[in-house]
Amino acid sequence: MEFLGAIEQLAPVRALRVSFYIYPLVNAAHIVAIGCLLTSVILMDLRILGFLASQERRPFLKLMRRIGVRAFCAALITGLLLFSVRASEYVFNPAFQLKLLLIALAGLNLLGLRIFASEQDGMPKERSAGFFAAASMLLWLGVLVCGRFIGFL
């Protein structure tokens, strides 16, 4: 808690807290990042499940993964900024807590995909990756809904 209180007192965080333009712009950037992340994740998962067959599997999955990783980094950075202005309050927000849990589960799910259902080169296998792809879609949609709920609790 002291650590979170210290974050709130950092000079850039204090400026962000009362800013008129910057905070809504960071908020908008967070939405862009989440939009890119969810789009790439869902398209990637659909392709793993066998949909979008017109797209050549390997290059398509590679491209979606690259976009997804970058979008996640952008979402993480902008999300930390939004969190920082009132960290000691958000940490008790049930929607925020559930969101973090779902992100952790999505991370474990990705790890499971890599360990149990991927080829040596990291490409998901044709058959066994389906479960992880379906779980991924559900988890990330859950993350999105939880994130939206933070402001309403």
Partner 1 sequence: MRMPFSPRRLLGPSIALGLAIAHPAFAHHGWSWTADETSELEGTITKIYVGNPHATLDVDVNGESWRVELAPPSQTMRAGFSEDTAKPGAHVTAIGNRSLDQNERRMKAVRIIIDGKTYDVYPNRVPSN
43 binds partner 1 per the rule CB under 8 A: yes
3-state secondary structure of 128: coil
153 binds partner 1 per the rule CB under 8 A: yes
63 binds partner 1 per the rule CB under 8 A: no
Single residue of 53, 59, 115, 120 touching partner 1 by CB under 8 A: 53
Tell me 31's DSSP state.
H
3-state secondary structure of 130: helix
In sequence order, what are the residues at sequence separation of 6 or more whose Cβ sits closer than 8 angstroms to the Cβ of residue 140?
A: 37, 38, 41, 42, 106
Max Cα-Cα span within the chain: 53
Selected range binding partner 1 among 28-36, 62-70, 110-118, 138-146, rule: CB under 8 A? 138-146
Q: Which residues bind partner 1 (CB under 8 A)?
A: 16-20, 23, 39, 42-43, 46, 51-54, 85-86, 89, 141, 144-145, 148-149, 151-153
